[in-house]
């Protein structure tokens, strides 16, 4: 079943102040480049760039003249971030009362120049969240046509169950990669398959480019596989994520056009089962039981 999102999703966390501080024209070009590369879904959160990146993107989107229906916009709410934009936040916390949920969605929509969000996520689970309170906000947003679907991010199965008692959860955006592989073993991905929840994975490349000297064995294996598959290391890491039967959508962070293009074409790599397991075993450093 199609999720309605491009298989590879472009993450926008680093587009603004928290990363590359792209200009409006650079963002506009990048929106077009993604679309030309087959990536039509863009991942945001209210907090990116200390609450500034959505409006930076929104300006570029408006200028781009790309039609709203030709892209999918994801945003997230609920983290109260400590920064200049919110001087009253003296401690980082989460807020999920219905009024704040509605306020956040409406602000993201306005900032993004978007009319509606295709998917609206609760960014992180809060120990104080109540499913009925969340339903009140989400139901209103859905009924008003402000959001097309609702989901969660970084939620465990139990936390998703809790929210599902009141609202239909259609996606969970989790950290997942070869180096962050716990969702394979703690039933997070199985749960999503069983419950028809779309998995999205942030940091899909894992830790491998953060320190090239780490994981030398994985880098050596990736170098060998690069020749076999005529693919770059980042493509192989994405192919590894993409092979999981739950149909994970990697949310990529690069803003470099050649890497965006490589990420998009990684969907065509047919990684064999043996090589998938070889990559896992090499990372784990031991045989599977
Ligand atoms: N839901 C959540 O809680 C949550 C949390 C974190 C992030 N996210 C989302 O996930 C998105 C992606 O996260 P991420 O940026 O951690 O993902 P990522 O795609 O795994 O990592 C991107 C980083 O890898 C580098 N990279 C990519 N290919 C490389 C290569 N071949 N060689 C060396 N470095 C390479 C990139 O550098 P260059 O930029 O130089 O290419 C970039 O710094 C974010 O933008 C955000 O939308 C969500």
- What are the tens digits of pLDDT across the range 197-210? 999 999 999 999 88
Question: Which pTM does this prediction carry?
Answer: 0.98
Rounded to 5 degrees, what are φ and ψ at 168?
-80, 115
Residue 80 CA to residue 283 CA, distance in Å, equals: 35
Atom 8 of ligand 1: nearest residue by CA position:
202
Residue 280 CA to residue 271 CA, distance in Å, equals: 13
At 94 the three-state DSSP class reads strand
Nearest in space to 222 (alpha carbons), one of 236, 209, 238? 236
List, chain by chain if needed, residues with CB within 6 Å of any ligand 1 atom.
11-14, 43, 123, 153-154, 173, 202-205, 209, 233-234, 251-256, 259
Choose the residue to mutate in 9, 254, 261 for probing ligand 1, maximizing ligand atoms within 8 Å of C-beta.
Answer: 254
Residues of the chain with pLDDT under 50: none
Rounded to 5 degrees, what are φ and ψ at 90?
-85, -15
208 CA to middle of ligand 1, Å?
Answer: 11
Atom 41 of ligand 1: nearest residue by CA position:
254
What separation, in Å, do the N-terminal and C-terminal C-alpha atoms of the chain show? 33
Predicted local distance difference test score (pLDDT) of residue 210: 85
According to DSSP, the β-strands at 150-153 and 119-122 are parallel
According to DSSP, the β-strands at 119-122 and 72-77 are parallel
Token pair for 93: 């916390």
The structure tokens 């966390």 sit at: 13
Nearest in space to 134 (alpha carbons), one of 77, 62, 193? 77
- Tell me how crowded residue 32 is: count the other CB atoms within 10 A of its CB: 14
Residue ranges of domains in the chain, CATH in brackets: 9-214+246-267 (3.20.20.100)
Predicted local distance difference test score (pLDDT) of residue 1: 57
Predicted local distance difference test score (pLDDT) of residue 214: 74
Residue 252 CA to residue 263 CA, distance in Å, equals: 8
Query: Catalytic amino acids?
Result: 48
């Amino acid at each position: 079943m199609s999720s309605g999102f491009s298989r590879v999703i472009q993450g926008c966390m680093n587009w603004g102040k928290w990363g590359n501080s792209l200009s409006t024209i650079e963002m506009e070009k990048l929106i077009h480049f993604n679309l030309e590369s087959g990536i039509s879904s863009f991942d945001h959160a209210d907090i990116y760039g200390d609450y500034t990146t959505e409006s930076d993107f929104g300006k570029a989107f408006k200028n781009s003249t790309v039609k709203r229906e030709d892209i999918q916009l994801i945003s997230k709410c609920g983290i109260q971030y400590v920064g200049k934009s919110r001087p009253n936040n003296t401690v980082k916390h989460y807020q999920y009362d219905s009024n704040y949920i509605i306020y956040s969605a409406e602000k993201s929509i306005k900032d993004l120049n978007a009319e509606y969000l295709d998917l609206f996520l609760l960014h992180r689970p809060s120990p104080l969240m109540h499913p009925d309170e969340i339903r009140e906000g989400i139901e209103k947003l859905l009924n008003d046509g402000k959001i097309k679907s609702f989901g969660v991010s970084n939620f465990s199965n139990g936390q998703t169950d809790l929210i599902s008692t009141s609202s239909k959860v259609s996606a969970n955006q989790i950290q997942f990669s070869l180096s962050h592989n716990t969702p394979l073993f703690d039933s997070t991905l199985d749960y999503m398959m069983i419950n028809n929840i779309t998995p999205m994975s942030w940091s899909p490349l894992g830790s491998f480019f953060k320190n090239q000297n780490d994981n030398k064995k994985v880098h050596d294996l990736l170098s060998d596989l690069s020749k076999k598959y005529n693919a770059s290391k980042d493509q192989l890491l994405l192919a590894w994520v993409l092979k999981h039967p739950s149909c994970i959508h990697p949310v990529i962070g690069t803003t470099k056009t050649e890497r965006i293009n490589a990420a998009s074409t990684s969907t065509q790599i047919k990684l064999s089962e043996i090589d998938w397991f070889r990559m896992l075993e090499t990372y784990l450093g031991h045989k599977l039981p």
